[in-house]
């Protein structure tokens, strides 16, 4: 699942969501960033940021 994230304090980033059921996704869902494997090509792993729901705590804002 892909989403547009708006950060508390400003800034926007589009990325994949992870560790959630697609039916959980809604505008305003609080998420946090997590460093994950994006893809593997020719045996080389590429890591970058994904977002996952904040379970309990809350820092980042918003997803579409």
Partner 1 sequence: MASNGIRDRVAIVGMGCTPFGEQWDKSIDDLLVEAAGDAVASAGVKIDDIDAFWLGTMGSGISGLTLSRPLKLDYKPVTRVENMCATGSEAFRNACYAVASGAVDMAMAIGGEKLKDGGFSGLAISSPPSDGTTAQLTAPALFSFLAPAYANKYGVDEAEMKDVLTRIAWKNHRNGALNPRAQFRREVAKEVICNSPIVAGQLGIFDCSGVSDGSAAAIVCRAEDASRYTDRPIFVKALSFVAGPAAGPLDPSYDYTTFTEVVRSAADAYAQAGVTNPRAELAMAEVHDCFTPTELVLMEDLGFAERGFAWKEVLAGTFDLDGELPVNPDGGLKSFGHPIGASGLRMLFECWTQLRREAGERQIRSVTEGGRTLALTHNLGGQPGECVSFVSVVGSEPAA
Q: Which is nearer to partner 1, 54 or 61 (CB)?
A: 61
CB atoms near residue 17 (< 10 Å): 20
Residue numbers at the binding site for partner 1 (CB under 8 A): 2, 4, 6-7, 10-16, 26-27, 38, 46, 48-49, 64
Here the tokens at position 51 are 């977002």
Residue 7: CB minimum distance to partner 1, A: 8
Residue 36: CB minimum distance to partner 1, A: 12
3-state SS, 3-17, equals EEEECCCCCEEEEEE
Radius of gyration of the chain (CA): 12
Q: Which is nearer to partner 1, 46 or 56 (CB)?
A: 46
């Amino acid at each position: 699942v892909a989403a547009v994230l708006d950060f508390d304090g400003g800034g926007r980033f589009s990325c994949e969501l992870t560790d959630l059921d697609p039916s959980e996704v809604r505008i305003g869902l609080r998420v946090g960033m997590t460093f994950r494997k994006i893809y593997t090509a020719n045996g080389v792993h590429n890591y970058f940021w994904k977002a996952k729901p904040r379970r309990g705590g809350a820092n980042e804002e918003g997803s579409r």
